[in-house]
Structure 1
Amino acid sequence: MKKILVTGGSGFLGSHLCDRLIARGDDVLCVDNFFTGSKKNIVHLMGHPNFELMRHDVTFPLYVEVEQIFNLACPASPVHYQYDPVQTTKTSVHGAINMLGLAKRVNARILQASTSEVYGDPEIHPQPESYWGKVNPIGIRSCYDEGKRCAETLFFDYFRQHQLDIKVVRIFNTYGPRMHPNDGRVVSNFIVQALRGDDITIYGDGSQTRSFCYVDDLIDAFLAMMDTEKGFTGPVNTGNPGEFSMLELAELVLKLTGSKSRLVFKELPSDDPKQRKPDISLAREKLGWEPKVALEDGLKETISYFKHTLAL
C-alpha cells in the first residue's frame, strides 16, 4: 500500500485515477477545490477506509505525508479555463510550485498531468515530444497553454536543481464517463446535443482533426509512467494516434445515438488548433503502452453515461 495524493481528484480524470488506485489497494488522499470537479464522481469511494477527501486549492501550500503525487488539478476545457484565466494560470504555476515543494519536503515521486496544448497549433504532424510547439503567449487560450508549459519548466528545474523524482505526461484529447456535460469539449458537446435533439455545433468547416483517447486507456498510461525507473522523466505523449475530423466525429455520434440533430457550422474560435495527433513511439518503448479502446466502443460507453446523467 502506498500513500498517494491526487490533486484534482474529483474531476473527470482524477476520479477514474482514484478508482484504480483504491482498487489496487493504495491509500488515497483526494484533493479538490470543486471548481470543475464534482463530489458525485467520488461519492462511491467516500466510505472506503483507504480513501480520504480534502477540499483544498493547490494555489495554497499543502502539508501532508505522501509517497507519490499525481498533480491533475486544473480546469481543462476552454469554457472552464477561460472563465477565470488568471486563476487558471495560478492553478498551473502556483499549483506546480506548491506540489513540487511538497514532493521535495517529503521526498515523493510526482507526476505532472501536462497537455498536448503545449504544442499549440502545431507545424509538425504527428507531434513528437521533441517538438517545442507553436503557442500564442497572449491569446484567449494562453492561460492554459502557457500555464502548463510553465509548469513543465518548473518540474524540470526541480529535477535539475533538486534531483526531484519527476514524471511528466502530455495528455491528448481524452473522453469517457464523468465528463462534465457543459464543459465545451467536442465529445461531450456532440453527445449532449445529439441526445437532446439540438443542433450539433461544428466550428469551422469540420475538417480540423483530433485524436481521442478513452479514459481507461489514459489511466493505464498514468500508472505505467508513475512506475517507470527513477531518472526517466518524460515528457511522454499519452493519447490515441487514431485521427478523426470533427465532421467524422459528429457523424459517428449521430449514428450511435440515432439522433436526428442537424449539423450547424459556426466560426472557428481564436487559436483553435487545426490538427492534433500524438506520436506515441516513446510511450510504446518506455511504458509498454498503447491505447486499446476503439473510438466507437468508447463513445458507446460515454453515450450510455450521458443518457443516465441527463435522464434521457
Structure 2
Amino acid sequence: MRYGKTKKIMVTGGAGFLGSHLCERLLAQGHEVLCVDNFFTGTRRNIVHMLDNSGFELLRHDITFPLYAEIDEIYNLACPASPVHYQFDPVQTTKTSVHGAINVLGLAKRTRAKVFQASTSEVYGDPEVHPQPEEYWGRVNPIGYRSCYDEGKRCAETLFFDYHRQHDVNIKVARIFNTYGPRMHPNDGRVVSNFVTQALKGDDITIYGDGLQTRSFCYVDDLIDGILALMETPREVTGPINLGNPDEHTMRGLAEQIIAMTGSASRIVSRPLPSDDPRQRQPDITKAKQLLGWTPTITLRDGLARTIDYFDRFLKDDAASTKL
C-alpha cells in the first residue's frame, strides 16, 4: 500500500460505460487511475475529459493477455455487456471473462492488491426464484447464444473464489443488474439506450414478445456508490453481492414512459422474443443493505431525464459532425 490515502488503482474496461464513471469517481477521490481498455466497446469519448488529469493514465490493452503494473486495487470491468456486442464474437467474450479473470487475479496475487469482479445478474439465467437472492444458483443454458457471457461470468466467479481460497487473494464480487445512464453505447442493443434513441429519432420503439417481461433499472451513479461501498468492506466480506434497483418495470411500461418524457411520436411495435431471454429480473438487495449500507436513491424518472438529455446532446453532436 502506498503512503497516505492515495492509491494506484487499475480499472479494466475503464473506457466503457461503467468503467468511465468509476474512473471519474476514483479521480475525484484523489487516487491515481490506470485505465485499461482495448476499445472493443469502450470509446475515447467517454474518457477524453480525464486525459489531461495528471492522476489518469490510459493503457490500450486486451486483458486476455497478461499485464504488469504496480497497483493497490483492481476493478475488473472488462467485457462486452450487451447481447449485440458479446454475441458478435462469442469466443472472444468467453476468453475476456475467463482468461481476463486469470490475468487480473494473477496480478492481484503478485501485488497483493484487492480485486473487484464485475459479475452480472445473468448468472441467474431465466430464474425460477423471484426476486433473485445471492444463494440462488441460477438456471442458465450452457450452450445457447447468450452462454458466452452468462457462463463466462459464472466461470470468472469460480476463479475469483478459488484464488481467494487457494492463494488468499482479497476479492470482492458484485452481481450487477440492469444499469443505465449517460455514456451508454447508443447501439448496444440494451433496452434503455434502444428506447431512448428510437424515441428521440421518432423511430418505432421495438419491444420483444408481449412486452410484459420485467427488468429492474439502476442509475449509474447509484451503482458506482454500491461498488465503492463493497470495496471498503472488511476483508471477510467477499460477496457475491447483488447491486441493482429492486423496482420492477415491464418493457411496455418503460417504452410508454420514455415516449411521454421525450414527447415522441414513436409507435410501439413487437418482435419475436429472443432465445433464452429472461421473463423476470429483480435483485434481492438485502445483503447490500445490511453489509454495505447501500440502497439506490435515484428514481427511474430522474435517471431517465438525465439519460434522455445525454442522448439528445449525443445525437445532435453526431448529426452536426456528420454534416462537416
Amino acid at match of 1:175: Y
1:89 aligns with 2:94: yes
In the alignment, what sits opposite 1:249? 254
2:162 to 138, 157, 173: 157
State yes or no: 1:8 paired with 2:10: no
What is the aligned partner in structure 1 of residue 152 from structure 2? Answer: 147
CA drift at 1:33: 0.1
1:197-244 superposed Cα distances (whole Å, 9 cap, x missing partner)? 000000010000000000000000010001100121000000000000
Q: TM-score, normalised by structure 2?
A: 0.96
Q: Secondary structure at the match of 1:4?
A: strand
The aligned residue for residue 26 of structure 1 is: 31
Indicate whether 1:178 and 2:199 are aligned. no
**Residue 322 (structure 2) aligns with:** none
Whole-angstrom CA distance in 2 between matches of 1:11 and 1:236: 22
What amino acid is the match of 2:224? I
Q: Which residue of 1 aligns with 2:112?
A: 107
Matched, 1:300 2:305: yes
1:272 counterpart (248, 270, 277): 277
Aligned to 2:73: 68
Distance (whole Å) between structure 1 residues aligned to residue 113 and residue 42 of structure 2: 25
- The answer to whether 1:78 aligns with 2:83 is yes
- Which segments of 5 or more consecutive residues in structure 1 lack a partner in the other structure? none
Determine the C-alpha separation between the residues in 2 that align with 1:35 and 1:120: 25
- AA matched with 1:220: D
- 2:3 match: none
Structure 1 Cα separation of the partners of residues 52 and 43 of structure 2: 16
Q: Pairwise mapping of residues 201-240 of structure 1 onto structure 2 (< 5 A)?
A: 201-240=206-245
User: Distance in 2 between the 1:5 and 1:161 partners?
Assistant: 23
Secondary structure in 2 aligned to 1:79?
helix
> Aligned partners of 2:126 and 2:171: how far apart in 1?
27
User: Stretches of 4+ moved more than 6 A in 1?
Assistant: none
Question: What SS does the aligned partner of 1:110 have?
Answer: strand
For the residue of structure 1 that corresponds to 2:203, the secondary structure is: coil
RMSD, matched Cα: 0.5
Q: Distance in 2 between matches of 1:4 and 1:103?
A: 11
- Aligned residue identity for 2:271: K
Question: 2:125 is aligned with what amino acid?
Answer: G
Q: What is the alpha-carbon distance in structure 2 between the residues aligned to residue 230 and residue 129 of structure 1? A: 19
What whole-Å deviation, never above 9, does each CA across 1:243-280 have from its counterpart, x for those lacking one? Answer: 00001100100010000100000100000000000000
Tell me the TM-score normalized by structure 1. Answer: 1.00
In 2, the alpha carbon distance for the partners of 1:164 and 1:35 equals 29
- Of 183, 195, 215, which aligns to 2:200? 195
Match of 1:42 among 28, 32, 47: 47
Q: CA deviation at 1:68?
A: 0.3
* Identical columns (%): 71
Task: Name the aligned partner's letter for residue 53 of structure 2.
Answer: H
User: What is the SS of the residue equivalent to 1:90?
Assistant: helix
Distance 1:108 1:61 in 2: 16
Aligned-partner SS, 1:102: helix
- Letter of the 1:300 counterpart: A
Does 2:131 align with 1:126?
A: yes
Measured in 2, the distance between the counterparts of 1:164 and 1:20 equals: 25
Query: Structure 2 residue aligned with 1:283, among 265, 277, 288?
Result: 288
